[in-house]
Structure 1
């Protein structure tokens, strides 16, 4: 950890910088001036040197898409490798904050600077807002020193970028890292195509929960839509309707044509351990790869980064099973 001397604040939109419009709160530009004005009025303002860059377009994070993740990745890589910034703070809306933190964790593997994401539940300037506390708290994390890699700061908590989830929609302590079992062997080296300098492409991914009444036709409709990877949210330790041979046949056929199938637990404190039940073993036999104790956000972001790097199904499964940045270990 080292002192940060040249911070980039990457403003993507989100509640933190929203202003009221006739249609309701919406992202607004000019946030750098508002930040500097607020800090000028503080007796103990953060003393970091920083510059702000606005993404275009600014987003309500409910509209976040893969191409926005890639644009953030490109902006961060350029800021570090070209402009010489030694840290990046990303201001982001809360709806998809944990998803973006996880995705960037895998898109920026090996980046030699710390990246921190934060946002707020109420806009800066709103009565009782948490915006300035979160923003100043994040800046003070850089003053104290942060390890390289992607992390999330919210309501006084510093969370691993691949372990955070949004649990509450109406409270300032909206984010937490729930205890989930870690089971992955750490990758000792990474291929060049998984490093932060390697560009990525959009990937056709789908997420589907297992539920009583799930039919083979439901899965077939999703898998036949051209998806390259499916994240299946299973019961408990990785079980599902394993007595439905038609459903298993759909999964097996998809895997045989190159679709990567990943299983995670839909329990907030769950982990996939296929060997626990015969039902889990049958899903593994149909081609599913265990996501262990990864969150939905982490598993989706990892699948996106692996397939987006151009890896084939077998290579993606191999790297998915390994811990790349602390998501499984």
Structure 2
């Protein structure tokens, strides 16, 4: 990355979605709470040595625990980010988000905001702001400082002094200050030379219906059919190893073939933290390819899920979706 590719933030929009970072105690436990802007201003005012850009604040509605995040909310967030840049005159965006689904949302925004000329950072905290040993304020001030120092266009995840590519990371711990790690995935995709205009951020997106099914020993066609017949448009199939499944089960393969015939896009990813899918290495993988299953290469679950939502939400034809799944759009297959 060169200095010419970095964009120093002058005006940042902070979008507060809820999450642990701003939670306060309630009768039922910690819950999302309004009023975070005033708390944030008070803290930053007490840190005059920290170099941060000018910033504005928008509280999203509703504020949610990120366990309640949905693809419909993603579209709401997508609109807010675009409005911050194109209507409010901000050159960068910081999204405050709960950690449970932060990697999903950040990965989804990578595909929802293709072509947007602004850096977008996601951060949150493992403990609420104001409690002892909280990581909230270090993450907020650190993310703002990172934007002031210059970031490339696109979406990144900021946590505990580290910037991560959302399409290559996952939350792997429910404790401590470092819940997110970059997974060592293989690439496996050719870079898309051009993008359909429908995929760029200027074009509205619709909500899509995407399922995820992890394979386990003994899984059968009945379980697969239950997911495929639930109204989904696409399925992320979490396979074993380099992309293997129960290839000696004719009913299972027939179910996948029916999915293809019905226009359901099925993408294989690996359950492993390292590596990726290569469907032609084993017979158990090539048989999946033979009934229409696509290779997700080294995509994480979060990246594959977000990518399918963007492709289907753009209203692209079935054949175009299948072609683009295996092409690298924003580094997810690099």
TM-score range, shorter chain: over 0.9
Structure 1 distance, partners of 2:43, 2:87, is 30
- What is aligned with 1:259? 264
Does the 8 Å contact 2:99/2:124 carry over to 1?
yes
Structure 2 distance, partners of 1:171, 1:239, is 34
Structure 2 distance, partners of 1:150, 1:35, is 22
Structure 2 distance, partners of 1:16, 1:127, is 13
Is residue 70 from structure 1 mapped to residue 63 from structure 2 by the alignment? no
Structure 2 distance, partners of 1:173, 1:197, is 35
Deviations 1:292-312 (A, max 9, x none): 000000000000000011012
- What is aligned with 2:31? 26
TM-score (norm 2): 0.97
Does the 8 Å contact 2:170/2:181 carry over to 1?
yes
Deviations 1:69-124 (A, max 9, x none): 00000001111112221000000000000000100000000000000000000000
Task: Please give the residue correspondences for 1:32-43 in structure 2 after superposition, counting only pairs within 5 Å.
Answer: 32-43=37-48
Structure 1 residue 211, shift from structure 2 partner: 0.6
- What is aligned with 1:223? 228
- What is aligned with 2:3? none
- What is aligned with 1:148? 153
**Which of 36, 44, 53 does residue 49 from structure 2 map onto?**
44
**Which of 35, 54, 59 does residue 59 from structure 2 map onto?**
54
Structure 1 distance, partners of 2:187, 2:313, is 25
Is residue 120 from structure 1 mapped to residue 114 from structure 2 by the alignment? no
What secondary structure does 1:275 align onto? coil
Deviations 1:186-235 (A, max 9, x none): 11221110001111111111100111120101111111111100110000
- What is aligned with 1:103? 108
TM-score (norm 1): 0.99
- What is aligned with 2:281? 276
**Which of 65, 85, 91 does residue 80 from structure 1 map onto?**
85
- What is aligned with 1:307? 312
Does the 8 Å contact 2:10/2:148 carry over to 1?
no
Structure 1 residue 313, shift from structure 2 partner: 1.8
Structure 2 distance, partners of 1:222, 1:166, is 25
Bigger Cα displacement from structure 2, 172-181 vs 90-99: 172-181
Is residue 320 from structure 1 mapped to residue 325 from structure 2 by the alignment? yes
Is residue 242 from structure 1 mapped to residue 247 from structure 2 by the alignment? yes
Indicate the RMSD between aligned Cα atoms, in angstroms: 0.8
- Which 5+ residue runs of structure 2 have no aligned equivalent? 1-5
Structure 2 distance, partners of 1:170, 1:122, is 9
What secondary structure does 1:52 align onto? strand
Bigger Cα displacement from structure 2, 297-306 vs 313-322: 313-322
Structure 2 distance, partners of 1:184, 1:119, is 31
Task: Please give the residue correspondences for 1:284-299 in structure 2 after superposition, counting only pairs within 5 Å.
Answer: 284-299=289-304
- Which 5+ residue runs of structure 1 have no aligned equivalent? none
What secondary structure does 1:269 align onto? coil
Structure 2 distance, partners of 1:150, 1:162, is 9
Is residue 199 from structure 1 mapped to residue 204 from structure 2 by the alignment? yes
Structure 2 distance, partners of 1:87, 1:42, is 21
Is residue 166 from structure 1 mapped to residue 161 from structure 2 by the alignment? no
